[in-house]
Amino acid sequence: MANIKITLRKDDVEKLKQVCKEFNNEPGELINVLHKAQGIFGYLPAEVQEIVSKELNVPVAKVYGVVTFYSFFTMKPKGRFPISICMGTACYVRGAEKILDEIKKQLNLEVGATSEDGKFSLSCLRCVGACGLAPVVLIGDRTYGRVTQEGVKEILAEYDEM
Protein backbone atom coordinates (compact mmCIF):
# COMPACT_ATOMS: atom_id res chain seq x y z
CA MET A 1 0.00 0.00 0.00
CA ALA A 2 1.12 3.47 -0.75
CA ASN A 3 1.07 4.81 2.79
CA ILE A 4 3.43 2.27 4.22
CA LYS A 5 6.30 3.82 6.08
CA ILE A 6 7.38 1.77 9.03
CA THR A 7 9.97 -0.99 9.13
CA LEU A 8 9.19 -4.38 10.62
CA ARG A 9 11.75 -6.61 12.32
CA LYS A 10 12.57 -9.74 10.38
CA ASP A 11 12.24 -11.96 13.46
CA ASP A 12 8.76 -10.61 14.19
CA VAL A 13 7.66 -11.17 10.60
CA GLU A 14 8.92 -14.75 10.77
CA LYS A 15 7.05 -15.22 14.04
CA LEU A 16 3.87 -13.89 12.44
CA LYS A 17 4.20 -16.22 9.47
CA GLN A 18 4.73 -19.09 11.89
CA VAL A 19 1.53 -18.12 13.73
CA CYS A 20 -0.41 -18.14 10.46
CA LYS A 21 1.01 -21.57 9.73
CA GLU A 22 -0.04 -22.84 13.14
CA PHE A 23 -3.57 -21.85 12.22
CA ASN A 24 -3.16 -23.69 8.89
CA ASN A 25 -3.37 -20.37 7.01
CA GLU A 26 -7.11 -20.76 7.40
CA PRO A 27 -9.11 -17.62 6.46
CA GLY A 28 -11.60 -18.46 9.24
CA GLU A 29 -8.82 -18.00 11.82
CA LEU A 30 -8.36 -14.33 10.97
CA ILE A 31 -9.39 -13.05 14.40
CA ASN A 32 -7.14 -15.51 16.24
CA VAL A 33 -4.21 -14.66 14.01
CA LEU A 34 -4.74 -10.92 14.51
CA HIS A 35 -4.89 -11.49 18.26
CA LYS A 36 -1.48 -13.21 18.20
CA ALA A 37 -0.11 -10.64 15.77
CA GLN A 38 -0.99 -7.86 18.15
CA GLY A 39 0.83 -9.82 20.82
CA ILE A 40 3.97 -9.88 18.67
CA PHE A 41 3.97 -6.29 17.42
CA GLY A 42 2.03 -4.57 20.20
CA TYR A 43 -0.34 -3.18 17.60
CA LEU A 44 -1.53 -3.87 14.05
CA PRO A 45 0.04 -1.46 11.58
CA ALA A 46 -1.03 -1.64 7.90
CA GLU A 47 2.10 -3.65 7.07
CA VAL A 48 1.17 -6.40 9.50
CA GLN A 49 -2.36 -6.50 8.08
CA GLU A 50 -0.90 -6.82 4.57
CA ILE A 51 1.16 -9.81 5.66
CA VAL A 52 -1.81 -11.46 7.39
CA SER A 53 -3.93 -10.80 4.29
CA LYS A 54 -1.38 -12.53 2.09
CA GLU A 55 -0.75 -15.47 4.40
CA LEU A 56 -4.44 -16.25 5.02
CA ASN A 57 -5.57 -15.28 1.52
CA VAL A 58 -8.13 -12.82 2.85
CA PRO A 59 -8.55 -9.43 1.10
CA VAL A 60 -6.72 -6.74 3.03
CA ALA A 61 -9.94 -4.67 3.08
CA LYS A 62 -11.59 -7.50 5.04
CA VAL A 63 -8.65 -7.69 7.44
CA TYR A 64 -8.92 -3.96 8.00
CA GLY A 65 -12.68 -4.37 8.45
CA VAL A 66 -12.12 -6.82 11.31
CA VAL A 67 -9.36 -4.71 12.88
CA THR A 68 -11.60 -1.63 12.94
CA PHE A 69 -14.65 -3.55 14.15
CA TYR A 70 -13.19 -4.91 17.39
CA SER A 71 -12.06 -2.35 19.93
CA PHE A 72 -9.43 -4.78 21.21
CA PHE A 73 -7.40 -4.32 18.04
CA THR A 74 -5.42 -1.16 17.61
CA MET A 75 -3.51 0.36 14.74
CA LYS A 76 -1.67 2.77 16.99
CA PRO A 77 1.46 1.61 18.78
CA LYS A 78 0.89 1.32 22.51
CA GLY A 79 3.30 2.83 25.00
CA ARG A 80 5.92 0.76 26.79
CA PHE A 81 3.59 0.98 29.79
CA PRO A 82 0.01 0.83 28.56
CA ILE A 83 -2.35 2.23 31.19
CA SER A 84 -5.89 0.80 31.29
CA ILE A 85 -8.54 2.17 33.56
CA CYS A 86 -11.43 -0.08 34.42
CA MET A 87 -14.73 1.58 33.69
CA GLY A 88 -16.84 -1.38 34.78
CA THR A 89 -19.83 -0.64 37.02
CA ALA A 90 -18.07 -1.24 40.34
CA CYS A 91 -15.00 0.81 39.44
CA TYR A 92 -17.13 3.51 37.91
CA VAL A 93 -19.31 4.06 40.97
CA ARG A 94 -16.16 4.16 43.10
CA GLY A 95 -14.77 7.06 41.12
CA ALA A 96 -12.90 5.59 38.10
CA GLU A 97 -13.73 8.66 36.06
CA LYS A 98 -11.97 10.97 38.51
CA ILE A 99 -8.92 8.69 38.40
CA LEU A 100 -9.01 8.82 34.61
CA ASP A 101 -9.22 12.62 34.65
CA GLU A 102 -6.29 12.78 37.04
CA ILE A 103 -4.12 10.52 34.86
CA LYS A 104 -5.07 12.52 31.78
CA LYS A 105 -4.04 15.69 33.60
CA GLN A 106 -0.80 14.31 34.99
CA LEU A 107 0.38 12.84 31.69
CA ASN A 108 -1.37 15.33 29.39
CA LEU A 109 -2.69 12.39 27.42
CA GLU A 110 -6.08 11.57 25.84
CA VAL A 111 -7.77 8.16 25.85
CA GLY A 112 -6.54 6.13 22.87
CA ALA A 113 -3.34 8.16 22.55
CA THR A 114 0.31 7.37 23.23
CA SER A 115 2.72 9.85 24.83
CA GLU A 116 5.32 11.35 22.51
CA ASP A 117 8.21 9.56 24.21
CA GLY A 118 6.33 6.27 23.68
CA LYS A 119 6.31 5.57 27.40
CA PHE A 120 2.61 5.61 28.26
CA SER A 121 -0.59 4.96 26.36
CA LEU A 122 -4.03 5.38 27.80
CA SER A 123 -7.16 3.29 27.34
CA CYS A 124 -10.31 2.30 29.14
CA LEU A 125 -11.74 -1.17 29.53
CA ARG A 126 -14.80 -2.82 31.01
CA CYS A 127 -14.33 -4.87 34.17
CA VAL A 128 -11.17 -6.83 34.83
CA GLY A 129 -13.00 -9.07 37.29
CA ALA A 130 -11.38 -7.54 40.37
CA CYS A 131 -14.38 -5.55 41.54
CA GLY A 132 -13.37 -6.04 45.20
CA LEU A 133 -10.35 -3.83 44.46
CA ALA A 134 -12.36 -1.09 42.70
CA PRO A 135 -11.35 1.28 41.31
CA VAL A 136 -8.69 -0.64 39.38
CA VAL A 137 -5.90 0.65 37.15
CA LEU A 138 -3.60 -1.57 35.08
CA ILE A 139 -0.17 -0.38 34.05
CA GLY A 140 1.76 -2.83 31.91
CA ASP A 141 1.34 -6.14 33.69
CA ARG A 142 0.85 -4.60 37.14
CA THR A 143 -2.54 -4.09 38.78
CA TYR A 144 -3.29 -1.24 41.20
CA GLY A 145 -6.39 -1.48 43.41
CA ARG A 146 -8.36 1.00 45.52
CA VAL A 147 -6.69 3.80 43.62
CA THR A 148 -7.44 7.32 44.83
CA GLN A 149 -7.17 10.57 42.99
CA GLU A 150 -4.41 11.66 45.34
CA GLY A 151 -2.56 8.35 44.91
CA VAL A 152 -2.21 8.70 41.11
CA LYS A 153 0.87 10.89 41.34
CA GLU A 154 2.62 8.36 43.55
CA ILE A 155 1.84 5.44 41.23
CA LEU A 156 3.09 7.28 38.18
CA ALA A 157 6.25 8.26 40.07
CA GLU A 158 7.18 4.57 40.13
CA TYR A 159 7.82 4.84 36.40
CA ASP A 160 9.93 8.01 36.54
CA GLU A 161 13.25 6.27 36.11
CA MET A 162 12.06 3.63 33.65
Among 15, 17, 35, 54, interactor with other proteins by CB under 8 A: 54
111 in the Ramachandran plot: left (φ > 0), alpha (ψ -120 to 50) or beta?
beta
Among 33, 40, 44, 63, interactor with other proteins by CB under 8 A: 63
> Could you tell me the smallest distance in angstroms from the CB atom of residue 147 to other proteins?
30
Dihedral, CA of residue 68, residue 70, residue 74 and residue 75, to nearest 10: -20
Extract the runs of DSSP E, i.e. beta strands, from 57-119. Answer: 81-86
> Could you tell me the smallest distance in angstroms from the CB atom of residue 16 to other proteins?
11
Does 33 bind other proteins (CB under 8 A)? Our answer is no
What residues are paired with 114 via a beta bridge? 121
Does 80 bind other proteins (CB under 8 A)? Our answer is no
Report the b/e string of 71-101 with b at 16+ CB within 10 A.
eebbeeebbbbbbbbbbbebbbebbbeebbe
Nearer to other proteins among residue 8 and residue 113 (C-beta): 8
Among 23, 64, 92, 159, interactor with other proteins by CB under 8 A: 64
Q: Which residues contact other proteins (rule: CB under 8 A)?
A: 1-4, 6-10, 13, 46-47, 49-51, 54, 58-65, 68-69
